[in-house]
A and B are shown apart, each in its own frame.
Chain A
Amino acid sequence: MNIAATAAAGTPPADVFAAARDRLPGEGPVATARKAAFEDFTSRGLPHRRIEEWKYTDLRALLRAVAPLAPVPGDAALALAAKAQAAIGIENATRLTLVDGVLAPKLSDLASLPKGVRVRSLRESLTAGAVDLLKTTFAADAMISFNGAMATDGVLVEVDDGVTLERPLYIAHVATASSASSVTRSKITIGKKARVTLVESFVAAGATAYQVHDQVDISVGDDSELQHIRLMEDARDAANITTAAFTLGARVKLNTFGLNQGAAVSRYQGFISFLGEDSELSTNGVNLLGGRRHADTTLVVNHAVPNCTSREIFRAVLDDQSRSVFQGRIIVQQDAQKTDGKMMTRALLLSDEAEADNKPELEIFADDVACGHGATAGALDEELLFYLRARGLPENEAQSLLISAFVGEAIESIVDDGLRELAITTAERWLAARG
């Protein structure tokens, strides 16, 4: 069945790598590392339901096959991308734009970077032989290997100690090529006592049935603060497979928010590690799904040191036959005493055919901790709906008000006023489109 589906979907995996070979930067050890990564991907195959971490998101059934690499964007593609990017409405940001997986200097603010910020492309670093950039230490799976084999470009950002960025750093992923993959890998290194807001967005510029394969590795130095906002608005028939890793020093404040309302299939897997004491994590997200869309958020929070706090709040609003998956694991290592880790996930089912899967896991090896999790799934409260309708709200307005309130708690976690407004507007647009 799976074999037949893969063959039917076109290019077999080995051809995808072979066809892309000339496009993949790096020779010698870099090329060898790519080849090894691709062999690992081929031997594992696409993740499927018998692999525990992927049991709700069977890519063999949902994705069937990886798509061939997108061509290098030409002037027409860049013009389309510029238009799509402007429509997102993130202003006053330092733009770093990846079009079809390739850094586009024309759509980036490389010449006017703030003081204390340096940016290189993954491409130039790999060409220079930086083989470590393709390696991944925090986790291993087929999609991480695929990314290591095929990553064509990405941004390597360094923020110096003591730098406070007035404007957000903004990495935009724009797809213009249909039925093709963009494979990117980026690395953000934030020094000590720095304050950064990082926005990532994913949009289509006319492309359909494309695949985004992204990986981002973020480290935050002691006494720094990072706000991370991720807006995923990929095309309705696209796929987005992203792996993100965060490593946190001491006394760090990390606040993340993800809004997902796109893609037929998406998987966001985040690995967050506390490596210094007294750090605080607040990670939040909202999935707004309709049609047959499938969105998977998988988080692994690793408390390796004492006295850190983690909070996870996730909300999913599910219409039609959509499906939202939340897997949250909190690991508390033996030394990580006084850890305070909690996650709460709630799903609102607007249709009888929608599905929410929640899998919270606590792995606790220390004895003096406060950890907890909660999960709920349910329909809109009929009594509340009647109360609102008895006050004059038509049914769709009453529903919208309750849905806004439902996702509100997660959206309110966004610290930046402008970005919070943007998330609210985006959510309202989704509600309006629901009718």
Chain B
Amino acid sequence: MTALLQVKGLKVQVEDNEILHGLDLTVNAGEVHAIMGPNGSGKSTLSHVIAGKPGYEVTGGEILFKGEDLLAMEPDERAAKGVFLAFQYPMEIPGVATMTFLRTALNAQRKARGEAELSTPEFLKKVREVSARLNVPQDMLKRGVNVGFSGGEKKRNEVLQMALFEPSLCILDEMDSGLDIDALRVAADGVNALRSKDRAMVVITHYQRLLNYIVPDFVHVMSKGRVVKSGSKDLALELEKSGYAQFEEKAA
């Protein structure tokens, strides 16, 4: 069986600074992987490169998604193929109503996959169903995208999109940043509800705390642009006790 995501020997630089120095990662459908590491270890860079954010230069290695060359695709093609990046800081888009945004995005993805676009009633039905399941209040959908949303609301909006677009790979970039414990629990519940045997998740986090709520199958420790250790969920607990320092020395 082809792995859902294969990152092989990935080297990435930003303005002549190499940030990832040959990173390997394999994620199969149904698995939840956590990537932990200190600030500056390259966790967010990895998530951005997978999603196709401009400004990063890949100088070596490859990323295969369902066996296809992901790096050859535009960001929107990757989304249509089933890659979803939940942003650490979701953007506010004044003047674009959340409903318009969701519908435009969903239909753009469907169109790219050669599926029929949803009519307004079909779309509304789907949004209502998904938002009810995730306890997202209807008035949030009427406002501009993320405009005036609290940190928790923004993350819930990301989870709502994840549920609506039904991607096969979800990358959650520092989902816990800026959230209090209650908001974190709500967002994590939303994510857990989306776990399935067909969908994989990569949870990027600095702190072990998030992994109490989203329990991973595998934990990888990144340091200085490489995965320096991989293990089970117990590795996260070990890190919580001993910190990242041991790995930083190892990587150096």
Contacts and interface: CB of A to CB of B under 8 A. Distances in A.
Interface in A388-411: 388-395, 397-398, 401-402, 404-406, 408-409
Contact of A391 (B53, B94, B161): B161
B79 A391 contact: yes
A391 B95 contact: no
Contacts of A382: 54
Nearest to A407: B95
A390 B108 contact: no
Size class of the A contact interface (CB-based, 8 Å): 20 to 34
Contacts of A5: none
B112 interface: yes
B193 interface: no
A138 interface: no
Given A392-B76, A397-B104, A386 B93 contact: no
Interface string B48-80: 000111100000000000000000001110111
B109 interface: yes
A382 B95 CA distance: 17
A387 interface: yes
Secondary structure of the B contact surface, majority rule: helix
B87 interface: yes
Contact of B105 (A384, A391, A406, A409): A391
A383 interface: yes
Contacts of B96: 401-402, 404-405
A402 B87 CA distance: 19
A394 B87 contact: no
Interface string B166-191: 00000000000000000000000000
A408 B95 contact: yes
A389 B74 contact: yes
Nearest to B81: A392
Interface in B25-63: 51-54
Given A401-B96, A405-B95, A405-B96, A386 B53 contact: yes
B91 A405 contact: no
Contact of A394 (B76, B90, B100, B161): B76
B95 A406 contact: yes
A390 B52 contact: yes
Contacts of A395: 74, 76
A421 to B, nearest CB: 15
Interface in B96-127: 96, 100-101, 104-106, 108-109, 112
Contacts of B78: 390
B108 A394 contact: yes
Contacts of A388: 93, 101, 105
Given A386-B54, A405-B96, A392 B91 contact: no
B75 A386 contact: yes
B54 to A, nearest CB: 7
Contacts of B100: 401
Given A384-B91, A395-B76, A401 B104 contact: yes
Given A391-B105, A404-B95, 10 more contacts: A382-B54, A390-B52, A390-B53, A390-B84, A392-B76, A392-B165, A394-B76, A394-B108, A406-B95, A409-B95
13 contacts: A386-B75, A389-B75, A389-B79, A390-B87, A391-B161, A392-B80, A392-B106, A392-B108, A393-B108, A394-B76, A404-B95, A405-B95, A409-B95
Interface of B: 51-54, 74-76, 78-80, 84-85, 87, 90-91, 93-96, 100-101, 104-106, 108-109, 112, 161, 165
Interface of A: 382-384, 386-395, 397-398, 401-402, 404-406, 408-409
